[in-house]
């Protein structure tokens, strides 16, 4: 007998996917994708920016590994940690800490992954703009769907995730 995995929200998500992609600004000349999102002038609830600092900002991953997947990054594109000046590095790690606090408050996970993929060989999907991933993890969150079908089910919309994390982001 065939088992069914019902995810009724998924159809609306897929219908909106093309809209969501077109809503994100294309990188301008000399800008990284993240710089163009930051400079777009669009409201934070459309770009999923969670926090803005003097040197860094945070936003949701548009293609999350799991619900609550946050990116923290400098405002200007740099490839490597050693390219950050002292002020930007300090603000980046302070914002990573705040992202962990928000993720824990919003989702009460069993653990949190924090990491950066530096360079394409390390798995960086956007290697020209350093970013730190912060994502909640639960015991048993890798299941048959991920293992066998290489598919993740994300149970809530990015809009709801954005609201939850904005509400729990430290002031």
**pLDDT in the model for residue 65:** 80
Per-residue exposure over 97-111, b if at least 16 CB sit within 10 Å of its own CB, e if not: ebbbebbeebbebee
**31 in a structural domain:** yes
**pLDDT in the model for residue 92:** 97
**pLDDT in the model for residue 76:** 95
- Give me the domain span that covers residue 54: 10-168
**47 in a structural domain:** yes
**pLDDT in the model for residue 12:** 59
End-to-end CA distance of the chain: 52
Which CATH number does the domain housing residue 146 bear? 3.30.428.10
Residues recognised as catalytic:
131
What single DSSP character describes residue 13? H
pLDDT along the chain (171 residues), means of 10: 52 52 55 92 96 97 88 95 96 98 97 91 85 91 52 75 96 82
In the numeric block, which tokens belong to residue 27? 């990188």
**pLDDT in the model for residue 85:** 97
**2 in a structural domain:** no
**61 in a structural domain:** yes
């Amino acid at each position: 007998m065939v088992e069914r995995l019902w995810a009724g929200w998924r159809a609306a998500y897929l219908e909106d996917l093309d809209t969501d992609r077109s809503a994100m600004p294309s990188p301008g000349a000399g800008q990284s994708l993240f710089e163009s999102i930051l400079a777009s002038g669009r409201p934070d609830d459309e770009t999923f920016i969670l926090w803005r600092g003097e040197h860094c900002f945070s936003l949701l991953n548009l293609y999350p590994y799991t619900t609550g997947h946050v990116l923290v990054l400098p405002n200007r594109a740099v490839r490597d940690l050693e390219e950050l000046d002292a002020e930007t590095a300090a603000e980046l790690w302070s914002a990573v800490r705040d992202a962990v606090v928000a993720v824990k408050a919003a989702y009460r996970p069993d653990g949190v992954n924090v990491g950066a993929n530096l360079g394409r060989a390390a798995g960086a999907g956007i290697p020209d703009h350093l970013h730190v991933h912060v994502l909640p993890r639960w015991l048993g969150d890798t299941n048959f769907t991920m293992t066998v079908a290489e598919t993740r089910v994300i149970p809530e919309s990015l809009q709801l995730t954005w609201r939850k994390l904005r509400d729990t982001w430290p002031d």
